[in-house]
Amino acid sequence: MIELVGDFIRTMTIDGEINSDSRITLKTNQTEILGRGSEDYIISLRKSILQNKTMNYRVPEMWDREWNHRIGPIWAPDSVSDSTLQCWLKPEQFQEDTDGTEYSAANDSSSNSVNFTQSSTSLMPDIGSKGLNGFKPLDYNGSHELFATAADGNAVFSVGTTNFMCIMVVTTPVDGNEKDVLIQHGNRTDSGYMRIYLDSTSSNTNIVLGTSSGIAFESTATSAFSFSTSHIITVGKDSSGVIRVDGSDKSASGTPQSISSTDDTMLGMGYSGTSGTSELGFNGDIYEVVFIKETDTILNDVKKIEGYLSAKYGIDLDSGHDYYNNPPRTTVIE
């Protein structure tokens, strides 16, 4: 076992592709090769070194390839402190179907086990081609859906009047009308459900958070995004409706109301009517979803999550953002 004593190991660098079986290397101080092999092996080797009995350094996310003991790994959503992490869907935990062409689940990386799943192959989102920084997204074509059952989803997404934020990395549709990204579905006379959708008509590009078909609770940002592009989109409420794109606040209208639905929560597909007819399916890529709630200082964690996502996927933040130039960092030693 290599012991981290003083400055003996100052950096550890992983060289190689992300999410690949290609052989990659782990180097210390940019020169000495500690190991070479599959990604799983190299990640495991780095973890065993950082968690040795001598120093017990904090282990970075798999995609964070540049470890530096002076500045620490990039901060991640499981370190939120001004809010509570409710659900965290990331590509490292997307589960492939047996044929290797679809995703059968997006498993939750929070402690709440809110896993979004699908048993019907025809409804599973496709495994997207390597996109942002080599990650393979959930590729939706307008008829795919993943869902979390009410038994899990209700505890997380039924926030009542509590502050909450949903921060997502998505590739927006090329065109079309309303496209549901995250929604509690069922009979839409239920005014207490949550619905986050993109409205990308040829004349407008809006982001909407609403209940009861987007009427009872609505916050709209006009011309918020451009077509067929990737963005960090933040939707939620504190004292008012909040809509942010790539870390920049967008004008929002509407008065936040209680969200208390006990319906299943869908990712990428909306349902309408008592018969549960599917409609308004998303037709873009979903890379990551982080859902947090509580406290009056929730925007502190929102900005850190946006900084984390910017570093991970290479999406530029607004120049006035707290983490425009450098991502948030967490402690070196746990």
pLDDT, the chain, mean: 85
CA 108 from chain centre, in angstroms, equals: 10
Whether 21 and 107 map to the same domain: the answer is: no
pLDDT of residue 240: 81
Instruction: Return the sign of the alpha-carbon dihedral for residues 278, 284, 289, 295.
Output: negative
In sign, the C-alpha dihedral spanning 39, 43, 46, 49 is negative
CA distances from 172 to 167, 200, 213, 245, 247 (A): 14, 8, 21, 12, 16
CA 234 – CA 321 distance, rounded (Å):
14
Same domain, 64 and 84: no
Q: How many residues does the chain have?
A: 334
pLDDT-derived band of residue 161, with 50, 70 and 90 as boundaries?
Answer: confident
- The count of other CB atoms within 10 Å of the CB of residue 317 is 23
pLDDT of 262 > 90? The answer is: no
Question: Is residue 266 situated within a structural domain?
Answer: yes
Taking the C-alpha atoms of residue 73 and residue 328, their distance in angstroms, rounded to an integer, is 9
Rounded CA separation 78/330 (Å): 11
* 3-state SS, residue 101: coil
Residue 318, domain member (yes or no): no
Residue 327 lies in a domain: no
Same domain, 132 and 211: yes
Last residue of a domain, one of 40, 68, 96: 68
191 pLDDT band, cuts 50/70/90, is low
Maximum Cα interatomic distance, the chain, rounded to a whole number of Å: 65
CB atoms under 10 Å from CB of 334, counted, come to 11
pLDDT over threshold 80, residue 34 = yes
For residues 135 and 288, give the distance between their C-alpha atoms in angstroms, rounded to a whole number: 10
Phi-psi category of residue 47: left, alpha or beta, with phi > 0 → left and psi -120 to 50 → alpha: alpha
Residues 120 and 209 in one domain: yes
Q: Is the dihedral of CA 196, 202, 204, 205 positive or negative?
A: positive
Mean pLDDT of 125-136: 95
In which element (H, E) is residue 149 found?
Answer: none
> Do 88 and 212 belong together in one domain?
yes
The pTM (predicted TM-score) of the whole model is 0.91
Total tally of structural domains belonging to the chain: 2
Whole-number pLDDT of residue 244: 92
Same domain for 107 and 219, yes or no, is: yes
Residues 53 and 106 in one domain: no
Eight-state DSSP code of residue 98: T
**Residue 257 forms part of a structural domain:** yes
In a domain, 174, yes or no: yes
Residues 51 and 181 in one domain: no
Q: Would the pLDDT of 275 be above 60?
A: no
User: Are both 304 and 246 inside the same structural domain?
Assistant: yes
Q: How many percent of the chain have pLDDT more than 70? A: 87
Q: Are 173 and 89 in a shared domain?
A: yes
Same-domain status, 50 and 87: no
Residue type at 126?
A: D
In a domain, 328, yes or no: no
Q: Report the relative pairing of strands 138-139 and 205-210 from DSSP bridges.
A: unpaired
Q: Does residue 1 surpass a pLDDT of 50?
A: no
Q: Residue 275: is it exposed, middle or buried by C-beta count within 10 angstroms (0-12/13-18/19+)?
A: exposed
Residue 126 pLDDT greater than 70, yes or no: yes
Closest CA to 313 of 91, 133, 131: 133
Q: Of 95-99, 139-143, 217-221, which gets the smallest average pLDDT?
A: 217-221
- What CATH number is attached to the domain comprising 185? 2.60.120.200
Please, which pLDDT band fits residue 21 given cuts at 50, 70 and 90?
low
- The range of the structural domain enclosing residue 63 comes to 11-68
Convert the pLDDT of each residue in 221-236 to its tens digit: 777 887 888 999 999 8
Task: Say if strands 285-293 and 164-171 run parallel, antiparallel, or are unpaired.
Answer: antiparallel
What does the alpha-carbon distance between residue 112 and residue 130 come to, in Å, rounded to a whole number? 29
**How, if at all, do strands 285-293 and 138-139 pair?**
antiparallel
Instruction: With cut-offs at 50, 70 and 90, classify the pLDDT of residue 214.
Output: very low
Would 330 be classed as within a structural domain?
no
Residue 334 lies in a domain: no
* Spatial distance between the Cα atoms of 89 and 70, rounded to a whole number of angstroms: 29
Cβ-Cβ contacts under 8 Å for 78 (sequence gap 6 or more): 85, 88, 109, 110
Q: Which residue has the higher pLDDT, 39 or 309?
A: 309
State which H helix or E strand residue 164 sits in. strand 164-171
The reply to whether 194 and 104 lie within a common domain is yes
- The pLDDT-based confidence of 304 (bands split at 50, 70, 90) is very high
